């Protein structure tokens, strides 16, 4: 099961990368179908792919999207509200919920141009629980909302056995408990698999573990092949553009930093020795140099002014160059206007050095800066 936002990481998907985002989502659905996902809730970032596209995937892979409170303007559910699954002779009801706090409602509004409504989450949950009353032995909610709302749900709607939360990236080794309801979260970005073992005969018991997908877990050959297919599709989509062959990496084009060199030669020399100067070839090493979800941090000003774009794949803008931190230097170059960002703040570093990749980066900023200081 998954609590939502499985298919896409961004609230807004730029037109230039929509095609790639759809290829990725298609692969995710295919793979999750293959590994046997029973129910997957729909998050606002999934919705950014477009409801028609999600419906297409649902049909193509017979995929078990569930959402009890996403409806169209008339109030008709967009996805199946719940499923009932036979597990070891017991009936398990599973339904999806989208948080209904105004922040989430706005996000869904933005992602869908107002075509999808978020209905009252507690009412929707109570309605499903009432409808399934007597028909199930165990009731699970996939809740795409902040954990504090999970507590409210557990306290206000009786009859829920388990809430799997998924919006604030928490990891719960030991399930939280509100009355009879258990609450678990299993981190983010597929780093962990949450495994809750439940006994229903006699006294109900539950044992939770979080399994990290580290090196000890081998690749499934079939899934690995599907990931390779995904890579090939992305390469086919963008790889035929100008200057994108391995050759352009082997014999690099003149990088944009060269234009800073006449006046900042010492800084440029220093920069060339940092990992920022090889960020693109790192992707080449992983055959990921055409994947927009990687390029965004491994190129200069991805899809911003004077930046790297998916359509053009400019070799001179590969790597994390000066303007990644100092902003678009076009006018500094042409007419000696001051550089837009003279003193880049740590928040800017953290746009790429995100907490999941580089935990504690803000605390260790001085150390990190010393490695690239100029
Ligand atoms: C023709 C010479 C010249 C070129 C080319 C040039 N700069 Fe500058 N840059 C300067 C001078 C002179 C200053 C200091 C003047 C000032 O403080 O505004 C400066 C200041 C800066 C500063 C520091 C601003 C501050 O207030 O401390 C940054 C950052 C900077 N340049 C980045 C760049 C980048 C990035 C490039 C290449 C894209 C570049 N410069 C190209 C001459 C140049
Ligand atoms: C546009 C995205 C981006 C921004 C902004 C950025 N970085 Fe990075 N940084 C990267 C990437 C990508 C790598 C890894 C490059 C590689 O190895 O291929 C990296 C690597 C590094 C490394 C080397 C890692 C190591 O431990 O050796 C340091 C240090 C670093 N960055 C510091 C900073 C600091 C300090 C800032 C802010 C002033 C910053 N970065 C801003 C993308 C970024
Ligand atoms: C949000 C920004 C961001 C995105 C998106 C991103 N990276 Fe990175 N990447 C970084 C930063 C920052 C570092 C440096 C981390 C460090 O020093 O620990 C890095 C480092 C790396 C490294 C070298 C570090 C290592 O662990 O050996 C590889 C390989 C890499 N990234 C591959 C990828 C791939 C493949 C993708 C796309 C699937 C990707 N990155 C997407 C920011 C990003
Ligand atoms: C990873 C982010 C990052 C990159 C890439 C980067 N800088 Fe900087 N740069 C900074 C930060 C942060 C400061 C401010 C340092 C400080 O306050 O001491 C700075 C300061 C400067 C200054 C002012 C130095 C001074 O003595 O006042 C210049 C000039 C400059 N950078 C030029 C460049 C040039 C040219 C490049 C490309 C070769 C570049 N920077 C690449 C983050 C970056």
Tell me if the pTM is above 0.85: no
39-53, 171-185, 337-351: segment of lowest average pLDDT = 171-185
pLDDT at 149 over 50: yes
Ligand 3 binding pocket mutation candidate from 318, 352, 371, 372 (most atoms within 8 A of CB): 352
Q: Of 59, 34, 134, which is closest to residue 91 (Cα–Cα)?
A: 134
| Number of the ligand closest to the Cα of 275 | 2
Considering the domain architecture, whether residues 167 and 231 belong to the same structural domain is answered as no
- The CA distance from 61 to 63, in Å, is 5
In this prediction, residue 251 carries a pLDDT of 52
In this prediction, residue 14 carries a pLDDT of 85
* CA contacts within 13 A on the Cβ side of 242: 8
What's the pLDDT tens digit per position in 238-292?
776 544 444 444 455 789 999 999 999 999 999 999 999 999 999 988 888 888 9
pLDDT at 26 over 70: yes
Does any domain span residue 5? no
CB 243 within 8 A of CB 314: yes
In this prediction, residue 252 carries a pLDDT of 56
CB of 354 closer than 6 A to ligand 3?
A: yes
Instruction: Out of 169, 188, 212, pick the residue that ends a domain.
Output: 212
Which of the four pLDDT bands, split at 50, 70 and 90, describes residue 154?
very high
What's the pLDDT tens digit per position in 193-223?
999 999 888 777 889 999 998 888 899 999 9
| Number of the ligand closest to the Cα of 298 | 2
Does any domain span residue 338? yes
Region 83-105 average pLDDT: 96
Domain span including residue 260: 221-372
Considering the domain architecture, whether residues 201 and 300 belong to the same structural domain is answered as no
Considering the domain architecture, whether residues 206 and 234 belong to the same structural domain is answered as no
- For residue 366, report the distance from its CA to the centre of ligand 2, in Å: 13
Ligand 2 atom 26: residue of nearest CA:
368
Considering the domain architecture, whether residues 296 and 330 belong to the same structural domain is answered as yes
Does any domain span residue 248? yes
Considering the domain architecture, whether residues 254 and 349 belong to the same structural domain is answered as yes
Does any domain span residue 115? yes
What's the pLDDT tens digit per position in 29-80?
999 999 999 999 999 999 999 999 999 999 999 999 999 999 999 999 999 9
Instruction: Out of 193, 212, 231, pick the residue that ends a domain.
Output: 212
Does any domain span residue 4? no
- The CA distance from 236 to 80, in Å, is 34
pLDDT at 347 over 60: yes
Q: Which two tokens stand for residue 6?
A: 């499985």
- For residue 341, report the distance from its CA to the centre of ligand 4, in Å: 9
Average pLDDT over the chain reads: 92
Q: Which two tokens stand for residue 328?
A: 């678009």
Q: Which atom of ligand 4 is nearest to the CA of 320?
A: 5
In this prediction, residue 10 carries a pLDDT of 86
Considering the domain architecture, whether residues 49 and 144 belong to the same structural domain is answered as yes
Ligand 3 atom 41: residue of nearest CA:
294
Number of compact structural domains in the chain: 2
CB of 212 closer than 6 A to ligand 2?
A: no
Considering the domain architecture, whether residues 235 and 170 belong to the same structural domain is answered as no
Region 232-242 average pLDDT: 75
Q: What angle do CA 249, 349, 106 make, to 5 degrees?
A: 105
Ligand 3 atom 12: residue of nearest CA:
353
In this prediction, residue 288 carries a pLDDT of 87
CB 105 within 8 A of CB 118: yes
Does any domain span residue 10? no
- The CA distance from 209 to 190, in Å, is 15
Considering the domain architecture, whether residues 92 and 186 belong to the same structural domain is answered as yes
Considering the domain architecture, whether residues 203 and 233 belong to the same structural domain is answered as no
Q: Of 188, 215, 213, 218, which is closest to residue 359 (Cα–Cα)?
A: 188
Q: Is the dihedral of CA 58, 59, 64, 69 positive or negative?
A: positive
Region 295-311 average pLDDT: 95
Considering the domain architecture, whether residues 297 and 366 belong to the same structural domain is answered as yes
In this prediction, residue 204 carries a pLDDT of 77
- For residue 370, report the distance from its CA to the centre of ligand 4, in Å: 12
Ligand 2 atom 28: residue of nearest CA:
368
CB of 353 closer than 6 A to ligand 3?
A: yes
CB of 339 closer than 6 A to ligand 1?
A: yes
Does any domain span residue 2? no
**Which residues are CB-contacts of 4 (< 8 A; sequence separation ≥ 6)?**
40, 41, 42, 43, 46, 96, 98, 142, 144, 166, 167
In this prediction, residue 184 carries a pLDDT of 96
Using CB distances shorter than 6 Å, the residues near ligand 4 are 257, 260, 264, 267-268, 271, 276, 320-322, 324-326, 343-344, 372, 374
In this prediction, residue 97 carries a pLDDT of 98
CATH code (residue 144): 3.60.21.10
Does any domain span residue 207? yes
In this prediction, residue 240 carries a pLDDT of 60
Region 173-188 average pLDDT: 92
CB 161 within 8 A of CB 142: no
Ligand 4 atom 3: residue of nearest CA:
325
In this prediction, residue 247 carries a pLDDT of 44
Ligand 4 atom 23: residue of nearest CA:
342
Considering the domain architecture, whether residues 163 and 279 belong to the same structural domain is answered as no
Instruction: Out of 212, 245, 261, pick the residue that ends a domain.
Output: 212
Considering the domain architecture, whether residues 152 and 273 belong to the same structural domain is answered as no
């Amino acid at each position: 099961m998954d609590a939502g936002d499985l298919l896409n990481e961004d609230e807004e998907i730029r037109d230039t990368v929509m095609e790639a985002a759809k290829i990725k989502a298609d692969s995710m659905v295919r793979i999750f179908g293959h590994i046997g996902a029973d129910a997957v809730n729909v998050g606002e970032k999934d919705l950014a792919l477009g409801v028609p596209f999600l419906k297409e995937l649902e049909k193509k892979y017979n995929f078990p999207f569930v959402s009890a409170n996403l409806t169209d303007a008339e109030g008709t559910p967009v996805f199946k509200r719940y499923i009932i699954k036979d597990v070891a002779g017991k009936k398990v009801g599973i339904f999806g919920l989208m948080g209904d706090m105004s922040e989430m409602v706005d996000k869904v509004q933005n992602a869908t141009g107002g075509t999808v409504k978020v209905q009252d989450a507690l009412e929707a949950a109570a309605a499903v629980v009432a409808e399934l009353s007597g028909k199930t032995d165990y009731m699970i909610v996939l809740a795409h909302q902040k954990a504090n709302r999970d507590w409210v749900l557990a306290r206000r709607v009786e009859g829920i056995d388990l809430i799997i939360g998924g919006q604030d990236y928490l990891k719960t080794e030991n399930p939280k408990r509100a009355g009879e309801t258990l609450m678990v979260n299993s981190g983010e970005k597929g780093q962990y698999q949450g495994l809750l073992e439940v006994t229903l005969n006699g006294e109900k018991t539950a044992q939770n573990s979080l399994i990290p997908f580290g090196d000890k877990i081998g690749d499934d050959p079939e899934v690995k092949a599907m990931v390779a297919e995904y890579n090939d599709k992305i390469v086919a989509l963008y790889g035929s553009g100008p200057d994108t062959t391995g050759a352009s990496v082997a014999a690099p084009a003149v990088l944009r930093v060269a234009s800073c060199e006449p006046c900042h030669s010492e800084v440029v020399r220093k920069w060339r020795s940092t990992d920022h100067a090889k960020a693109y070839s790192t992707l080449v090493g992983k055959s990921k140099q055409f994947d927009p979800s990687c390029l965004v941090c491994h190129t200069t000003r991805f899809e911003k002014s004077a930046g790297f774009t998916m359509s053009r794949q400019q070799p001179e803008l590969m790597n994390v160059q000066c303007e990644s931190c100092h902003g678009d230097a076009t006018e500094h170059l042409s007419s000696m206007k001051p550089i837009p960002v003279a003193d880049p703040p740590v928040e800017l570093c953290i746009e790429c050095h995100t907490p999941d990749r580089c935990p504690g980066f803000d605390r260790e900023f001085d150390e990190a800066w010393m490695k690239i200081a100029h």
